[in-house]
Amino acid sequence: PGNKEVEPLKYAKVAKAASVSRQKVEGCIQGTTSLLSHCLGKGQNIALVLRDIGVLLIEGRRVKMKFFYNFLETMSGKKNLEIAGFKVPELLDMVVSQVAPVASLTFSGRVIIFP
């Protein structure tokens, strides 16, 4: 909807930022996408860990993102994050600790860790 254009992923740029080969980036992304597609096709619940960012929970038709506190603090600043937490307490439900067992966040306990 809205005639939005899809921009292809720039594998070379990602490879340079991650200091790995383009082939490794392509293989990793294609492998992860294939695994996700397989799990979703079978109707499995998934907790996809995005290192240093958070956890994407896909359970049935529900999709929810939980961010690591450190990531949100880096993005918004500690003071802004505290103010937002007071003004909109529901935001606290979107925060998860990096030391929390990720499997406990999903009904199935299935976890995929994105490199």
For the segment 10-69, what is each residue's pLDDT rounded down to a tens digit?
A: 999 999 999 999 999 999 889 888 988 888 888 888 888 888 888 888 888 888 888 888
- Identify whether 103 is part of a domain: yes
- Could you give the CA distance from residue 95 to residue 85 in angstroms, rounded to a whole number? 10
Tell me the pLDDT tens digit for each residue of 68-97.
888 888 877 777 766 666 566 666 677 877
- What's the total number of domains in the chain? 2
Verify that 18 and 62 share a domain, yes or no: no
Q: Which domain holds residue 23?
A: 9-42
Residues 101 and 61 both lie in one domain: yes
Q: Are 17 and 32 within one domain?
A: yes
Same domain, yes or no: 60 and 90: yes
- Three-state DSSP at 5 gives coil
In a domain, 26, yes or no: yes
96 inside domain: yes
Query: For residue 60, how many other CB atoms are within 10 A of its CB?
Result: 9
Q: What is the pTM of this model?
A: 0.69
